[in-house]
Amino acid sequence: MAEGWIKLFRKIQEHWIWQDEKKLKWWLSILLNVNHAPRKFPVGDELFMCESGQSFRSIEQWTSMFSCSKKTTIKFFDLLKKDEMISCEIVGNGNRRKHLLTVLNWEEYQSEETELSPPRKPECSVNGNPDVPSNKNEKNDKECKEDIISKYQSDFFDSLIPFVGEFGKETCRDFYDYWTEPNKSKTKIRWQLEKTWDLRKRLTRWSNNNFKKSNGGKQQRSVSERSGELDGIVSAVFTEKGMG
């Protein structure tokens, strides 16, 4: 049963091998059939370690896999060696010799990031706390950030609903306005920057300390205070969800 996996970059479409259907299929067959994990192989009276990205198949076995002649297989391997895509060596002696094929730069087909692939930045996703991706289109980048922040705020809002009866709508509204303020890069909201977070304890401390009034409204400038338009949006959302 086939095991393991390989990773291909779209950049392969710019490679010479992409231009030839047969050679491309043969190359993919090599990638899919070399070891995905190290294994030991007996060669005569000796044991050899066949590492990840290597194969002990014979030329005849590769020829059978490619469905071509032995001569064609050898020429194809020579082409791959010339382009430093594989290396080949003979291990063992006499009739028990084995052909060891090694895919060079095998890590490029296995590791998460490689030099050929610049570090992949997260998609415009609201799962977890991803950094907002770089985007050539500034408008799309801005919309992506807004979508992420909106999702974070919505999730935080939902987490407050069970506490409305205990702490009151006004307290929960002020608490929401303060802790959902985005950071400067618009990638996270205020509560996500805290090292530890216990919602009930934070609400209790907020309520007991009368935080908003004790700060004279300076530190606690809510979203609604900064923008009349946002105030209408927030109020509408709270009304819709039973907190207005």
pLDDT digits (tens, 9 = 90+) for 99-148: 889 999 888 887 654 333 333 444 454 444 444 444 455 666 677 878 88
Residues 158 and 101 in one domain: no
Residues 79 and 143 in one domain: no
Query: For 150-168, how does the pLDDT look when each residue is reduced to its tens digit (9 = 90+)?
Result: 989 999 998 999 888 888 8
CATH assignment at residue 82: 1.10.10.10
Residues 143 and 236 in one domain: yes
Residue 127 lies in a domain: no
Residue 126 lies in a domain: no
Alpha-carbon span 190 to 98, nearest angstrom: 62
Full residue range of the structural domain in which residue 189 is found:
138-240
Q: Which of 156-184 are b and which e, b meaning 16 or more Cβ less than 10 Å from the residue's Cβ?
A: bbeebeebbeebeeebbbbbbbbbbbbee
Which has more pLDDT, 52 or 20?
20
Alpha helices in the chain (DSSP H): 21-33, 59-66, 70-82, 138-160, 164-167, 169-179, 199-209, 211-214, 223-226, 228-240
Residues 99 and 28 in one domain: yes
